[in-house]
Structure 1
Amino acid sequence: MTGTDSRSPFRTSRRRLFGTTAAGLAAAAVAIPAAASQAAPLRRRQAPAGMYRIDLHAHFLPPDYRASLLEHGYLTIGGYPTPDWSPEAAIAFMDYYGIQAQALSVSDPGVSYLRGKDANDMARYCNSYAANLLETHGTRFGAFAVLPMPDIPAAIDEAIHALDTLHLDGVVLLSAYDGVYLGDPRYEPLMAALNQRKAFVFVHPASIPAGSKPALPLPDFLEEFTFDTTRAATLMMVTGLTQRYPGIRFQLAHAGGTLPFVSHRVSVASQTVLGGLWPRGLPKPSVLDMKNQISRFYYDTALSGSSAAMASVLAVTGRDHIVFGSDWPFSAATLPQTGTHDPAPGLSDIFDADARMEVEHHNPLRQLPRLSAAVGR
């Protein structure tokens, strides 16, 4: 699948959906005084002690997968040098930062840089590698399956195998494939299969094609990743996907990108001139409905462990929908090397010890029952 169908009311390019993102963010500074006061930064408090964290945003690069990435020119991922990874290094990282277990996933570009049998075989290799880790290091690792997108029949077959046979904990999907965002009707058969299994789906941003982004001297992971997550989440809501498939639990990377910040703007879209142009056949969301849909996403703390980011998330959802994420090994250069061994000390600016235990331990395990049983809660 390449590009989008110009006749489809769902046709949405990266540039058109949030093409004026910088201006939009500046204009969307809406006041939410009540929520802001409730989520005001607290004096930094002590984090819980011990190996308690459950990491739902952690990546792995099995040897053959990493070699294939390099062979195909992926020397960087989102502008970050493609890192080395091994189970031993991951466990050492977890031990240092008090992480009990990680739910591993393949980052951008998934296996979508390949096509046909090559993509299918690489997805099966990565998922089988993950399943082996669950056998050999069951108390330290979970995993989200990578799918050979955008081949929908092959992706469905692999999802069924990964969830029903390998018993992985969920799947990871990128925000878009070949410029087609999650929410597009072409993904409906896959979403139906995932909904039937009440799957946990980790939505990770994808790198923006060079011809569809501003020519800025900045790596994608700094800003563009957050905008792409926002585009995907918005399209999933306005096309009714999140309403049609309530059995799927979606985790949005990096505190939902910019979705919490632009939540009011997104909610009122149907009340503006856009309401009269709404594509036929799509449910026209109300303000209350959009707020409800935004609140149902799960938001991870990866590269977002600050009072500013978490206050924004708390303004649109409850604390029970926030889960811990480290983004390791891609975050290795940004992690604090302190005597406290705390991977996200900024979380203590807004959460006390009990709240951190909820966000970093209880909430993740509630979503992944297999991993919860493996680690014994």
Structure 2
Amino acid sequence: MTPTAHSRSDHGAPTGYGRSAGVSRRAMLIGAGAVAAGATVATAGGGDAGASPAPTGRYRIDMHAHFLPPEYRAALLEHGHFTIGGYPTPQWSPESAIDFMDRWGIQAQALSVSDPGVSFLRGKDSRDLARYCNTYAAGLFHTHRSRFGAFAVLPMPDVAASIAELEYALDTLHLDGVLLLSAYDGVYLGDPRFEPLMAALNARRTFVFVHPAAIPDNAKPALPLPDFLEEFTFDTTRAATLMLAGGTLRRYPGIRFQLAHAGGTLPFLSWRIGVLAETPIGNHWPAGAPRPSALDVQQLIQTFYFDTALSASEAAMRSVLAVAPRSHIVFGSDWPFSQAVFLEGGGDPAPGLSTVFSTSQRYEIERANPLSQLPRLRSAVG
């Protein structure tokens, strides 16, 4: 029997499918949402009128969703983090998250803290806040078993303390993976200073969500735009490129890296990054690191996972498909930092996906692909 967009299981899932004055942050968010959600007329194959319908029911697994437990949010505000990436630091509660999920067809969210993680603190304060966030997340597994997963925050850039927290979060709390920011104190993932942590992540074959970090004001152009709009995507690209150039992906193949926001600009730059290694400029490649060819870069980029958060558009998705298989695309909402996009009501949270993918392909991206990477959450949702 050919599946339809309306067939559902008892769980509500479809069956049969394998910074400046004068600029309004809210207006920019809404504009970004309009781009992501703009209804173009193309089928999954492209070209013909009429986009494929989205599957129905509460079936989605949200791999890019944030939480701000009370003490964490209070610590952010106490230390002057009134905005995150230029977006006002939002309120969050389990109840508001569940309400959002119910209205937008999401069964569960894999929660993580956003930038700046706990890196705005040091020493015991950082370790304690990381433990608080991770323990809070694990508690949600008991109070809302089928609605939440979580990625552990680590007390970076303290590598030794981060390894200890990694062990506790995965082995004792049984969180689903780990959150890493693209950089800590200006040092990007892929730097040799992080090698012991990468080895520990690799030993556990950890799923790692890479989220961008804000660049200090004195290290970037003074543009009248919030960081989340452009700078976040560039920072993800920097981290991914350095992990390619420094050999992190080759040395630690057991780590599965999810890149936020469709990988930033990595898909667009993929060929250019590989070509660089084959030119005279490539003589400046990091000492001791294998010098990849264009082909090597293409093969390694395919190992990343790419989420759809604020990137569910035809341009972004076709760019990802040009460098990675569909099985490596996962749904993300970026809620509550994207809440101005989801203004009222409910329905399809990412209609732009239907301009590229068929109904059954959307089900893969929005449910099957995420659950294939998070076995504990897969068991919890049934």
Residues 39 and 311 of structure 1 are in contact (CA less than 8 Å); yes or no, is this contact kept in structure 2?
Answer: no
1:153-302 aligned within 5 A: 153-302=160-309
Q: Name the SS for the 1:135 alignment partner.
A: helix
Deviations 1:99-145 (A, max 9, x none): 00000000000000000000000000000000000111110000000
In structure 2, the partner of 1:91 is 98
Structure 1 position 335, deviation (Å): 2.4
Residues 184 and 239 of structure 1 are in contact (CA less than 8 Å); yes or no, is this contact kept in structure 2?
Answer: yes
1:296-335 aligned within 5 A: 296-335=303-342
In structure 1, the partner of 2:32 is none
In structure 2, the partner of 1:30 is none
Query: Runs of 5+ in structure 2 lacking a partner?
Result: 1-43
Distance 1:49 1:116 in 2: 47
Structure 2 vs 1, CA of residues 63 and 41 (structure 1 numbering), >3 Å: closer, same or farther?
farther
Letter in 1 for 2:68: L
Distance 2:344 2:264 in 1: 25
In structure 2, the partner of 1:347 is 353
The answer to whether structure 1 residue 51 and structure 2 residue 48 are counterparts is no
In structure 1, the partner of 2:36 is none
Structure 1 position 352, deviation (Å): 1.1
Residues 245 and 285 of structure 2 are in contact (CA less than 8 Å); yes or no, is this contact kept in structure 1?
Answer: no
- Aligned pair count reads 339
Residues 41 and 307 of structure 1 are in contact (CA less than 8 Å); yes or no, is this contact kept in structure 2?
Answer: no
Structure 2 vs 1, CA of residues 278 and 39 (structure 1 numbering), >3 Å: closer, same or farther?
farther
Pick from 362, 372, 376: which aligns with 1:370?
376
Instruction: Give the TM-score normalised by structure 1.
Output: 0.88
Q: Name the SS for the 2:268 alignment partner.
A: coil
Distance 1:52 1:371 in 2: 13
Q: Name the SS for the 1:171 alignment partner.
A: strand
Structure 1 position 241, deviation (Å): 0.2
Deviations 1:306-365 (A, max 9, x none): 1010000000011000000000000000126466x1111111111111010000000000
In structure 1, the partner of 2:143 is 136
Residues 39 and 314 of structure 1 are in contact (CA less than 8 Å); yes or no, is this contact kept in structure 2?
Answer: no
Deviations 1:75-112 (A, max 9, x none): 10000000000000000000000100000000000000
Residues 245 and 286 of structure 2 are in contact (CA less than 8 Å); yes or no, is this contact kept in structure 1?
Answer: no
Distance 1:282 1:45 in 2: 45
Structure 2 vs 1, CA of residues 270 and 40 (structure 1 numbering), >3 Å: closer, same or farther?
farther
Distance 1:179 1:358 in 2: 36
Distance 1:280 1:144 in 2: 33
Distance 1:198 1:276 in 2: 33
Structure 1 position 41, deviation (Å): 6.2
Pick from 144, 147, 150: which aligns with 2:157?
150
Distance 2:185 2:313 in 1: 33
Q: Name the SS for the 1:50 alignment partner.
A: coil
Q: Name the SS for the 2:64 alignment partner.
A: strand
Letter in 1 for 2:164: D
Residues 123 and 147 of structure 1 are in contact (CA less than 8 Å); yes or no, is this contact kept in structure 2?
Answer: yes
In structure 2, the partner of 1:121 is 128
Residues 336 and 342 of structure 1 are in contact (CA less than 8 Å); yes or no, is this contact kept in structure 2?
Answer: no
Pick from 350, 358, 364: which aligns with 2:364?
358
Distance 2:285 2:56 in 1: 51
Structure 1 position 232, deviation (Å): 0.2
Identity of aligned residues (%): 70
Q: Name the SS for the 1:143 alignment partner.
A: strand
Distance 2:249 2:239 in 1: 11
Instruction: Give the TM-score normalised by structure 2.
Output: 0.87
Structure 1 position 286, deviation (Å): 1.2
In structure 1, the partner of 2:18 is none
Q: Name the SS for the 1:334 alignment partner.
A: coil
Structure 1 position 276, deviation (Å): 2.3
Letter in 1 for 2:120: Y
Q: Name the SS for the 1:251 alignment partner.
A: strand
